[in-house]
Amino acid sequence: MIIVKGGVTAAKGFLANGVKAGIKPSGRKDLALLYSEVPAVAAGAFTTNRCKASPVKISRMNLNGKTHQAIIVNSGNANCANGKQGDTDAVEMARCAADFLNLDKRMVLVASTGIIGVKLPVNKIVRAMPKLLAGLGRDKAPDFAETIMTTDTRKKEFVVKVRMGSSVVTIGGACKGVGMLHPEMKTVKHATMLAFISTDASISKKMLEDALDEAMRDSFNMVSVDGDMSTNDSCFIMANGLAGNKRISAKEGDYGKFTAALKFMASEMAKMLAADGEGATKLIEIEVKGAKTADDARRVARKISTSNLLKCAIFGMDPNWGRIVASAGSSGVEFNIDRMDVYIGPVKALSNGAIAAAFNREKVRKFLKGKNVNITVDLKSGKSSARAWTCDFSKEYVAINSEYST
């Protein structure tokens, strides 16, 4: 597996574009399209928030189809809490793109991100569609990544290539989300985070769903910026088969290679999201090891990642390791604190449930001055581990979110 430069058009047969439709008051690009030149199988994972945005509902429904070729996405408007009109508008977005691409509207998936409770200006989307379609190209991945941004400060793209037999499979993606970010997404078979992944792998729809499900578990679902779950969280993947590899139709052979590459890519993009959290000055990685089960490790790591007190302490370079212990203990996971160890970077803070003899507050303060902060918690209860990612809480976070809808 190798990492290469690029985005959603790195895989064979994918085109993209992003244009200004006039949805964002700022006048920035706000309407994007990802298109496969041939029919592709697709899978998606969506928010478990009971208040689901209209595009989430429509895309879940459309994914019941066998093949898909396009994803249309707007930023600047969440199309959420708009009643039946919101559903109608999401369908109209798909229909409009489908008509221009000469596709059935059910072959088009839809995503939106932005302010909740504001009617989507579909007329602006319709007017911008000719320009959006005319500019489709393999060189427009950066435009796509830029267009989906809301309060993000930088584009987030990632590409990996993996050899399967005599073929090379490419997986490319783009994502956004730096606020209202605490995804808990599930595949349809069982600010906002949006992720779009394209691959030229030949793989069955069932195996693509399973691979995405596995990848989500230890990547996007382990990110938290502020603990607030969005109404619009969505992750899409399309696979068009143009790499020419032997079709993956069972959990054997190349399925493992493909899933490993997808997991790695999703984890790297998840870290990008956390690092660009609203007002963030530090990326925080929390590793929990020695758990009885993988689920226990995930629950403890994620609980620690949602501690606002810890995130404030790290911003202020305060070596308050007690906040880590308190969060772990409130996770609902059973473990013996008298066996627990905690490290902040290279410094051991807790040893077998008591402050470490060599704990040095000034060494911790010095470590916390860096941009990357790693925390390790060893429960000494088993062999399972997990990682979660978050960021610190700065004064700028408050400023951004007190003025977001003005």
Q: Could you count the other beta carbons within 10 Å of the beta carbon of residue 109?
A: 27
What distance in Å separates the CA atoms of residue 94 and residue 338, rounded to the nearest whole number?
56
Counted residue by residue, the chain has a size of: 406
- Say which residue the tokens 């960021």 belong to: 391
What distance in Å separates the CA atoms of residue 403 and residue 406, rounded to the nearest whole number?
5
Q: Could you count the other beta carbons within 10 Å of the beta carbon of residue 151?
A: 17
User: Who's near 124: CB < 8 A, 6+ residues apart?
Assistant: 21, 22, 23
User: Who's near 43: CB < 8 A, 6+ residues apart?
Assistant: 63, 187, 188, 205, 208, 209, 211, 212, 236, 237
What are the φ/ψ torsions at residue 123 (nearest 5 degrees)?
A: -60, -35
Please, what is the Cα angle at 2 between 138 and 174, to 5 degrees? 45
For 397, the token pair is: 């976070």
Nearest to 219 by CA among 187, 252, 185: 185
Active site residues: 192
What distance in Å separates the CA atoms of residue 348 and residue 105, rounded to the nearest whole number?
57
For 180, the token pair is: 């209202």
What distance in Å separates the CA atoms of residue 353 and residue 375, rounded to the nearest whole number?
16
Please, what is the Cα angle at 115 between 35 and 305, to 5 degrees? 90
The residues facing 239 across adjacent strands are: 41, 199
